[in-house]
Amino acid sequence: MSNTFSEKLRSLCAHYRSVSEVCRMLGLNRQQFDRYLTGQVRPSQHNLQRIAEGFGVDVSELIDPAREIGPPARLKEESGRDRMGSLIERAFPGDLKRLRAMLGYYHTHFLIPSDPDEVTRSLVYLYEQEGRVCSKTIERTGPHEEVKEILKYEGMATFLGNCIFLLEFETLSADTIVESILYPSYRKSLDILTGLTFGMTSQVYRQPFAAPIAWKYLGRTVDLKEQLAVCGSYKRNDVRIDPRIRKYLNAAGLSGTLSLGPM
């Protein structure tokens, strides 16, 4: 076993900065470990198992000449996590300077999938935390005078390609992710953002849907109780909805929402 084991052990160690780092990771004496590397000494079954577990490989991979050995499993996992973290860092927050100008509270409005004549108004808060722009959304279902259910979402926003992308996770039922893509709709009036939102209905069949959405800026600080009180469902042409938003939803929703039902 000695030559095969020592060769594979050296191959695994080559993925780390030093042999000393490997010894600290495995909890083995450096002098003893050097003998394993040179093939002078065969490790006990206990130490062999410890080495295999430390590198995240099988014992048979270490001692079987017919089995090739690749990078340590844990190192591959860390590499995968690093790559995913790098992708997230690259995607979020995008143009932070542009996003910072949009921090604060908004009323969001989107057409209800089950009834395209009704609009749901929710409250969303965009805020900066550790260099990223995060979101908190509260959605009240049913007429705003008589709330039937409250949904809460948390997520992150990014500004890419002149659009805002918002990805949110529903935190109470923990069973859906919602994405919204928004863009400033008026060059001289950036208090209105419009676009599309994608999610799942709260009905029994849990249908995916896409619907036009419009945000109205409320300010950096608001009376939360007051703004939440006016959240809920409204008729599309209700005069309590900003006329610019009504115009957008009426134009965007002429054919209803884009919804995929069960086959």
2-90 has CATH 1.10.3470.10 classification? no
Is this model's pTM higher than 0.75 or not?
Answer: no
pLDDT value at 85 more than 70: no
Domain ranges of the chain: 2-90, 96-259
pLDDT of 80 reads: 54
256: pLDDT confidence band, cut at 50, 70 and 90? very low
Contacts 24+ apart (CB under 8 A), 135-143: 135/166, 135/168, 137/108, 137/168, 138/228, 138/231, 139/231, 140/228, 140/231, 140/232, 141/202, 141/232, 141/233, 142/232, 142/233, 143/232, 143/233
Q: pLDDT, tens digit, for every residue of 11-21? A: 888 888 788 88
Lowest pLDDT segment from 99-113, 153-167, 204-218: 204-218
Q: Please check whether the two domains, 2-90 and 96-259, share a CATH topology.
A: no
Q: pLDDT, tens digit, for every residue of 216-233? A: 999 999 999 999 999 999
Q: What is the CATH number of domain 96-259?
A: 2.40.128.120
